[in-house]
Chain A
Amino acid sequence: EVQLVQSGAEVKKPGESLKISCKGSGYSFASYWIGWVRLMPGKGLEWMGIIYPGDSDTRYSPSFQGQVTISADKSISTAYLQWSSLKASDTAMYYCARSSTNWFDPWGQGTLVTVSS
């Protein structure tokens, strides 16, 4: 079974750094893109960026370029989303999802990030 399992919920203070993870199993992790999607409270889905673990080719949405860093370690079948300095406005649910032709299936269970002083 193809599965993506994300790291647990995080509570952070503004200015702190954070790295959340997404571990794939049941398929050749290096051969499929992994995308990250944000869901803010009361809002819709927003595509943040995508990485190809095989060669670490990464694309970002202009809205998120420079705000986050997407990376992957194919040796442990894990993709990452990280922030160097969190803001309260980063409070959201973050999903990873596998992509073969740029639609997403399946999705991870989501990681809730709460940023509050």
Chain B
Amino acid sequence: EIVMTQSPATLSVSPGERATLSCRASQSVTSNLAWYQQKPGQAPRLLIYGASTRATGIPARFSGSGSGTEFTLTISSLQSEDFAVYYCQQYNNWPLTFGGGTKVEIK
């Protein structure tokens, strides 16, 4: 099973600042990596798939990069609605696995 490790667990950022979230895979997942956002009381929402392709309707301030074992989600200028928990997920191998999440909170 591929283990996905996200860091940091919590990221404190001021509105308007840049946020950089990391996700590491225990073995290569090539570019088969997705990112999700989950707000309290809501279902997760797909942000990025294929490591760097934004899903439909996702603002351009969200960008994904990386391949192999190291991936990054960048939010260029945090808006109030972006404070949430973010998860990465690999879909290169069964079983599919999620990272433990990064909570982005207001500084």
One of B43, B98, B101 near A108 (C-beta < 8 A)? B43
Asked if A104 contacts B97 (CB within 8 A), the reply is: no
The answer for the CA separation of A49 and B98 in the assembled complex, in Å, is: 13
A105 to chain B, nearest CB (A): 4
Asked if A45 contacts B98 (CB within 8 A), the reply is: yes
Q: How many residues of A contact B (CB 8 A)?
A: 24
One digit per residue, 1 when the CB lies within 8 angstroms of any chain A CB and 0 when it does not, for chain B 67-107 equals: 00000000000000000000101010011111111000000
A65 to chain B, nearest CB (A): 9
The answer for the CA separation of A95 and B38 in the assembled complex, in Å, is: 12
Asked if B99 contacts A50 (CB within 8 A), the reply is: no
Which residues 95-109 of A have a CB within 8 angstroms of B? 95, 97, 101-109
| Residue A61 is within 8 A (CB to CB) of chain B in the complex | yes
Given the known interface contacts A102-B32, A103-B89, A104-B34, the answer about A61 and B95 at a Cβ–Cβ threshold of 8 Å is yes
Which residues 41-57 of A have a CB within 8 angstroms of B? 44-47, 50
| Residue A24 is within 8 A (CB to CB) of chain B in the complex | no
Question: B residues within 8 Å of A by Cβ?
Answer: 1, 32, 34, 36, 38, 43-46, 49, 55, 87, 89, 91, 94-101
Q: List 26 A-B contacts (CB under 8 A).
A: A37-B44, A44-B100, A44-B101, A45-B36, A45-B38, A45-B44, A45-B87, A45-B89, A45-B98, A47-B95, A47-B97, A47-B98, A60-B95, A62-B1, A63-B95, A95-B43, A95-B44, A102-B32, A103-B49, A104-B44, A105-B45, A105-B55, A106-B43, A106-B45, A106-B46, A108-B43
